[in-house]
Structures are given as C-alpha cells and as structure tokens.
C-alpha cells in the first residue's frame, strides 16, 4: 500500500481538494492519503519549501509526497518526480523542488504532459497518480518519464552572514502567530562562537537569550527558541507575536515593491 502526502496552496473552501483525493482513490483504492497542508500562501516559495522540507523528513522511507504549489505560474509542460533520501517528491517544474531539498535531487525524471489536452489540476493529479501506481508496482523510475530532464532550479532562501551578525527572513507564521525565521540552531551556533547576542527586530524590540519552552517567560512576554524543526522562532507566551510585534512573512514577490517595509520581514542577531 503506497503512502501519499498532499500539500497545496488550494485551500479548503471549494471542491478541488476533495476532487483531487477522489481522483487518486479512483486510480488505486489502496493509496493511503495523508494531508500535510492545503493552506500555503500562493506564490510564496520560501514558505512552501519550509513546510514541505520539515514534514517530509518525518515520514517513512519511500513515501510519495505530492506538492501542488504554484502549478500554473508558468504553462506546465512536465511534472517532476524526484527520489532523494529515500523519499519521492512530486511537484511542478517551477523551481520549488530544489528549494525543498536545498540542492539537486539524487534522481529526477520529467513526466511530459499531453499538449493536446486540457492541463488542469485534475488532469495533472491523474498523471501523478498513474506514475505513483507504476512505481509502487515495481516499475523503475527512469521508465516512467524522461530520465535526464531540464528543469527550473531556485535557491532556498538563506540568511545573510557577517562576522558579527546574521540576518534572517521570516519564512512562516504558524497558527498561533509564532514567527519562524530561516536561521537554524546550527547557523546560530556556528556564527555565535560562544559569544553573547542580541536578537533585534522591528527597530526597538530585543531578546538576548534562547528559551527552551514558552513557559520560560511570564505570560505576555516575548521570547526566542528553536522549534522542533530546529529553526529560530519568535513568540509571545500566550500571545500572537506576528500581530502584536508587527511582523510579517517574507515573500520574494513582495521584496521588490516593499523594500521600505522589509525590515519588518527580517530579524538580525548581533554577536558581541
């Protein structure tokens, strides 16, 4: 029985998420479907990469991860099927694959889409479902599509480093409005080198220690910790950090026309 995860920016308001599951179940009633999220922000590649990367690593080997994000940013000509670290990742050819993996996959094939047909979301999911069925029945990955495809690559959003500081971007705001920054614990410790530090955001807000849990500070106080994925998180104990601190998620689409507000999408750590 093949295990499939679904991640998308489709949302839950209309029929499409259910229709996608129905199409997959028609292809094989033995597919086991697991939702990761259908509420990703459209066109926000850093957010999608963060969510997918940190969900995928927790699944059993040989899980199929279907990522339906920005399917139609460009006219779709192929669907990418990658195998990396014992996981299958299936997504549009839009650059998201290399952002999720933070590099090139071990193996990738391109499944060409029928140019004579109507390439909507349900056609694409049928194409994906048939490919998954073939692989799960033992067909080699290089037999289901073009084994040496040309595909779009995008670099993951990385923090900027200096000897005495590190700049990170806000890549995700969770259900509790905790703010996730693209600085990992490894990034932080490598740059810190045992020094004291100040986390600065929104001009006059400052944190100078790392907490282990939200309860380390009084209710209503701000704190910083590293979340279960190992990323820096800015939070308020029993409060909504994003709203109360005026922070917003970084978006590549916004970066060119919101430069005067970019400060509120970034966090800087000074080392002393």
Confidence of residue 203 (pLDDT cuts 50, 70, 90): low
Residues present in the chain in total: 272
Do 222 and 234 form a contact (C-beta atoms < 8 A)? yes
How many other CB atoms are found less than 10 A from the CB of residue 198?
Answer: 14
Q: For residue 64, give the H/E element and its range.
A: strand 64-68
Sequence-distant (6+) residues with CB within 8 A of 118 are none
Mean pLDDT of 237-263: 66
CA distances to 52, 140, 262 from 49, rounded to whole Å, are 5, 27, 20
Residues 86-101 pLDDT 10s: 999 999 999 999 999 9
pLDDT reported for residue 261: 47
CA distance linking residue 157 with residue 100, whole number of Å: 10
Confidence of residue 260 (pLDDT cuts 50, 70, 90): very low
State how beta strands 205-207 and 197-201 pair: antiparallel
pLDDT reported for residue 258: 44
What tokens does 69 get? Answer: 């994000």
Query: pTM of this prediction?
Result: 0.90
Most confident segment among 21-30, 198-207, 248-257: 21-30
Nearest alpha-carbon partner for 39 in 69, 15, 59: 69
Residues 110-160 pLDDT 10s: 999 988 778 899 999 999 999 999 999 999 999 999 998 999 999 998 999
pLDDT at position 256 over 50: no
Tell me the CB-side half-sphere exposure of residue 252, using CA atoms within 13 A. Answer: 15
Nearest alpha-carbon partner for 139 in 101, 109, 105, 112: 109
Where do the domains of the chain lie? Answer: 3-143, 160-271
Do 171 and 181 form a contact (C-beta atoms < 8 A)? yes
The chain-wide mean pLDDT, for the chain, equals: 92
Fold of 160-271: Elongation Factor Tu (Ef-tu); domain 3 (2.40.30)
pLDDT reported for residue 251: 61
Q: Where is pLDDT greater, at 49 or 116? A: 49
CA distance linking residue 154 with residue 132, whole number of Å: 25
Which range (40-49, 66-75, 149-158, 198-207) has the least confidence?
198-207
Do 56 and 65 form a contact (C-beta atoms < 8 A)? yes
**Domain 3-143 falls under CATH 3.90.550.10:** no
Nearest alpha-carbon partner for 87 in 114, 53, 121: 53
Nearest alpha-carbon partner for 199 in 238, 230, 226: 226
């Amino acid at each position: 029985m093949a295990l499939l995860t679904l991640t998308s920016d489709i949302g839950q308001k209309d029929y499409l998420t259910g229709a996608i599951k129905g199409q997959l179940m028609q292809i094989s009633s033995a597919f086991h479907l697991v939702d990761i999220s259908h509420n990703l922000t459209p066109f926000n590649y850093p957010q999608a990469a963060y969510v997918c990367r940190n969900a995928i690593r927790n699944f059993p080997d040989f899980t199929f991860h279907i990522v339906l994000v920005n399917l139609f940013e460009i006219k779709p000509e192929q669907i990418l099927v990658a195998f990396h670290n014992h996981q299958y990742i299936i997504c549009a050819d839009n650059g998201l694959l290399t952002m999720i993996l933070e590099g090139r996959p071990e193996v990738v094939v391109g499944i060409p889409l029928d140019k004579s047909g109507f390439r909507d979301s349900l056609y694409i999911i049928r194409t994906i479902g048939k490919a998954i069925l073939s692989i799960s029945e033992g067909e080699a990955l290089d037999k289901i599509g073009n084994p040496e495809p040309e595909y779009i690559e995008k670099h993951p959003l990385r923090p900027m480093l200096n000897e005495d500081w590190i700049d990170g971007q806000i890549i995700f705001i969770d259900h509790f409005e905790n703010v996730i920054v693209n600085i990992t614990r490894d990034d932080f410790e490598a740059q810190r080198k045992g020094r004291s530090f100040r986390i600065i955001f929104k001009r006059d807000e400052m944190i100078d220690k790392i907490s282990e849990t939200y309860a380390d500070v009084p209710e209503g106080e701000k704190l910083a910790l590293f979340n279960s994925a190992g990323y820096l998180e800015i939070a308020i104990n029993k409060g909504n950090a994003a709203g109360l601190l005026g922070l917003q998620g970084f978006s590549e689409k916004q970066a060119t026309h919101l430069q005067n507000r970019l400060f509120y999408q970034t966090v800087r750590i000074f080392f002393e």
